[in-house]
Chains A and B, each alone.
Chain A
Amino acid sequence: MPAAVELRGITKRFPGVVANDAVDFEAAEGEVHALLGENGAGKSTLSNILTGLYRPDEGEIALRGAPVSFTSPRDALDAGICMVHQHFRLVPPFTVAENVILGDHRGEGKKLMVHPRRIEQRVAELGRRYRIAVDPRARVWQLSLGEQQRVEILKALYREARILILDEPTAVLTPQEADSLFETLRVMADEGRTIIFISHKLHEVKAVSDRVTVLRGGKTVDTVQTKDATQRSLAALMVGREVALAERVERAGEVGAPVLDVRDLWAAGDRGGDALRGVSLTVRAGEIVAIAGVAGNGQRELAETVTGMRPAVRGEVAVDGKRLHSGDARAAIRAGVAHVPEDRLTTGVAPSLSIASNVVLKSYRGKSVTRGPLLRLGAIREHAAALIERYDVRGGGPELPARRLSGGNLQKVVLAREFHGSPRVLVVASPTRGLDVAAIETVHRYLREAAADGVGVLLISEDLDEIRALADRIFVIYEGAIVGELDARTATVEEIGLLMAGGVAE
């Protein structure tokens, strides 16, 4: 029987980079096939080619043995290929049912008059069958990210997708929600559909897939049976060398006096409503305290309020016992609060400005780089060159626009700047999202070093592996409130996961 989907010799070039280099890939009907690779390995490019968003420069695509050529995403949809993107493609003011028929040009969606009842019934039915219940009349903006993902999957099922591609689907889920997603995927595969599961998390790939294809540097490295592989062997294939999986390293340094005190902090979200609801926590010098939680539960607002980017509605933030003026980022910076924001490309740096400018983004008022109102551009350049050297930033010199750096090197620039001001408190949000394994190692090392130097680190992350590798204590955040505090040495994934889903600690 021919494979459900086969890609042969796919090559896609972008200016200055070969994203896919003669990639071969095939997946059978009824299997969950994982596509494993680091960021930049070519996974997204490959899935964009399969969904008709890009056209390959070379190579061919065959569905059940028949060659196809997609000129637009619609061709791929018509051929039964659906994709659940990392960033959902939903219309927030629309209901679930309306989103499901959006773009459907065969059935209900094609008619001039839309009959919501009929679609709602069909959606409810699909939800029951695949155990992915969502209220079809709910508006998408009311749903959690996990529920929105279900809508995306329902969309694919409604369109009777034969091939479903999921791009990093578990980033927005608790461990328990991820498990239930895996069950749904299993049911779908057992019906003869093909599931392509894109991930860089090894334990998930182990848990859900039948086979794994590993990409590295735009090339296919190997396709292996999941049951014959171990996490370690997959990691080695992915990185190209033996790697230490993120493991706990006990740190020597002493834990000192409290440096960051957050008391009953309330803050509004971007769309109104309380994004933070009475958060209290303390971080001591030399300690790494983690905030765990599913994305969108107030983490971003917490980081922004603590660092003064967002005014607090109520409550206070104190550094070294001194209360900070709410909503004043400059005051927070002066008090020694460093911040590595989750969105490093538009918040952490001014992307079109040079590395040199970005290195002094917070210190451009300082005496060492100014003379009266004038900037000492030479001194700034030298300072940047020194930091580039010390933090091993690769890709260009001080004059390079920041956006031209890779994610890992960009993060090094941000870290270099934030560490340089000898901070008291370091607020880091998703510091390794999108980075490759080598860069993750580096970032983790810097964070441990910072803690060893007596900085109080507040680590906000959705990656439980990262939290368990770095943190001393873990706070779990759910709907803007802290729902539990755990000792990182003894906490289990199940415990954390339960709290992340809003459960109560025993």
Chain B
Amino acid sequence: MIRIERRLAQPKWLSLAVPIGSVVVAFGVMTVVLLVTHHSPGSTFRRIFDTGFLGSQSLNATFVAATPLLFTGLCAAVAFRMQLFNIGGEGQLYAGAILGAAAGIALGNHSGWLSVPAMIAAGAAGGAALALVPGILRAFLSTNEIITSLMLNYVGALVISYLIFDSQSYWRDTSSPTAKVFPQGKNLPDAASWPAAHVGSLFLPFGLIAGAVVALLVWILYTRTRFGFEVQVIGDSPRAASYAGMRTRRKILAVMALSGAIAGIGGASQDGDFRHTLDPRGLTTAGYGYAGIVIAALARYNPFAVVLVAFLLGGIQNAGFALQGADFPSGLVGVLQGLILFCALGGELLIRYRIRFARTGHAAEAAA
């Protein structure tokens, strides 16, 4: 008989062993899937590794894929730490992309020193504003933020599509005849292109560095400040927080705003680092926000672990693009990513519970 018992103590090594084990199990199951679909697991995994992590060209592509994941992962981790389940990172990233692009266009081609910080601020404001909607509802009306933040993702996706495809908005390029037939966003001026750091042959996007800085700041905020102390207490026991006289509502608003702002910067980074236009189709099909939830869960809400996991998942995603082809449907890459999430959530169970194999009926045997 198999029994699941709650662990009384959670050993430290488990929090490292379980995520790694989860990924191993996911690859194990993927092997079966690949064999069933007549692909060679060995060569597939080698190609994932090669195109994801080997050589500077692969790594540069992985950095590009990892940058938005880093922001959405931090967005989820920041909120989840306080048991505030903001799964609206997707929509908040769009909001950041919209306002970030607006700032970039509006400031014209004067100076990067002006445009880049302005785009970051505008993106953060956009994400924060959208995140505050579920935040306010939660703080004052106790509405479930999971549902409201999720629903706003669809609102965000429709708004961003509307701006380019269904309206003559500020963001839409209406200058040339072809742009009227094939709607597309205005190109951002050069000053709105975010600089990148060159380290040897590696090419680090500005957003990736900014994301790493944000991770560090979040870590300091959550472990070293009074604000973070309150977040820890509220996340652990809201009753203890109210007992200690903490202002829970304000913290809900602040954390939601912070969480949304981080996703929003991720959106602005899409404009400034990579796309150089407001690109609804690219953003809404990428699913960065949802991937961020997976990343936060795998990283156990630790901001430094988010950096690492975002890099690894970025690599797998990047490899996915390379694998896709006539002989390898893109769906299989999705299967692998889904398996990793599934195993990670299953692994959570192992951290909190232990599985015991108990003998049955030994009392009856003894009596016989």
Contacts and interface: CB of A to CB of B under 8 A. Distances in A.
Partners in one complex: yes
A347 B361 contact: no
Contacts of A348: 240, 243
Interface string A322-357: 000000111111000001010100111111110001
B236 A350 contact: yes
B245 A308 contact: yes
A16 B8 contact: yes
Interface in B1-33: 7-9
Given A14-B8, A308-B245, A350 B226 contact: no
Interface in B226-249: 226-227, 229-230, 232-233, 236-237, 239-247
Contacts of A273: none
B225 A350 contact: no
B233 A361 contact: yes
A357 B224 CA distance: 12
A405 to B, nearest CB: 13
A232 interface: no
Given A347-B240, A375-B229, A332 B363 contact: no
Contact of A352 (B7, B236, B366): B236
User: Which applies to chain B's interface (DSSP): helix, strand, loop or mixed?
Assistant: helix
Nearest to B229: A364
A350 B9 contact: no
A177 interface: no
A152 B364 CA distance: 31
Contacts of A365: 226
B367 interface: yes
Interface size class of A (residues with CB under 8 A): 35 or more
Contacts of B236: 350-353
Given A69-B367, A348-B240, A16 B226 contact: no
A330 B358 CA distance: 50
A339 B245 CA distance: 11
Contacts of B240: 346-351, 361
A55 B242 CA distance: 40
B360 interface: yes
Contact of A373 (B225, B241, B364): B225
A418 B255 CA distance: 29
A370 B226 contact: yes
A438 interface: no
A339 B226 contact: no
Interface residues of B, number: 29
A341 B364 contact: no
A208 B245 CA distance: 45
A331 B233 CA distance: 19
A60 interface: yes
Query: Which of B233, B242, B363 has most chain A Cβ within 10 Å?
Result: B363
A374 interface: yes
A331 B247 CA distance: 12
A404 interface: yes
A407 interface: no
A176 interface: no
A67 interface: yes
B237 A347 contact: yes
Nearest to B364: A69
Interface in B332-368: 358, 360-361, 363-364, 366-367
B233 A353 contact: yes
Contact of A350 (B8, B224, B233, B245): B233
A254 to B, nearest CB: 31
A464 B7 CA distance: 37
A272 interface: no
Given A16-B9, A333-B245, A353-B233, A375 B225 contact: yes
Nearest to B230: A364
Query: Which of B240, B247, B367 has most chain A Cβ within 10 Å?
Result: B240
B361 A309 contact: no
Nearest to B8: A15
Interface string B242-276: 11111100000000000000000000000000000
Contacts of A333: 244-245
Contact of A329 (B226, B242, B364): B242
Contacts of A341: 243
A56 interface: yes
B367 A67 contact: yes
B226 A373 contact: yes
Contacts of A114: none
Contacts of A353: 232-233, 236
Contacts of B226: 364-365, 370, 373-375
Contacts of A346: 237, 239-240
A332 B364 CA distance: 60
A71 B233 CA distance: 40
Interface string A362-374: 1011000010011
Nearest to B3: A55
Contacts of A307: 243
A365 B244 CA distance: 11
Contact of B224 (A15, A352, A375): A375
A374 B222 CA distance: 10
Contact of B239 (A332, A343, A377): A343
B366 A350 contact: no
B120 to A, nearest CB: 22
Given A352-B236, A375-B224, A329 B244 contact: yes
Query: Which of A55, A357, A362 has most chain B Cβ within 10 Å?
Result: A55
A341 B241 CA distance: 13
Interface in A405-453: none
Interface in A49-66: 55-56, 60-61
A373 to B, nearest CB: 5
A179 B97 CA distance: 72
Interface string A304-322: 0001110000000000000
A503 B333 CA distance: 74
A312 B364 CA distance: 59
Contacts of A330: 245-247
B344 to A, nearest CB: 21
Nearest to A334: B245
Given A67-B367, A373-B226, A404 B9 contact: yes
Nearest to B228: A375
A60 B361 CA distance: 11
Given A309-B243, A343-B239, A350-B240, A60 B367 contact: yes
A339 B239 CA distance: 13
B243 A339 contact: yes
B244 A361 contact: yes
B243 A351 contact: no
A71 B8 CA distance: 23
Query: Which of A353, A362, A377 has most chain B Cβ within 10 Å?
Result: A353
A123 to B, nearest CB: 35
A374 B237 contact: no
B232 A357 contact: yes
A428 to B, nearest CB: 13
A194 to B, nearest CB: 21
A17 B160 CA distance: 59
Nearest to A328: B245
Contacts of B358: 55
Given A71-B361, A361-B244, A375-B225, 17 more contacts: A15-B7, A16-B8, A55-B358, A56-B363, A307-B243, A329-B242, A329-B244, A330-B246, A346-B239, A348-B240, A350-B233, A351-B236, A353-B236, A362-B244, A364-B230, A375-B224, A404-B9
The 5 residue pairs across chains A and B that have the minimum distance between CB atoms:
A330-B245, A67-B367, A69-B363, A329-B245, A350-B236
Interface of A: 14-16, 55-56, 60-61, 67, 69, 71, 307-309, 328-333, 339, 341, 343, 346-353, 357, 361-362, 364-365, 370, 373-375, 377, 404
11 contacts: A16-B8, A60-B367, A71-B360, A329-B242, A330-B245, A331-B245, A339-B243, A343-B239, A347-B243, A351-B237, A374-B226
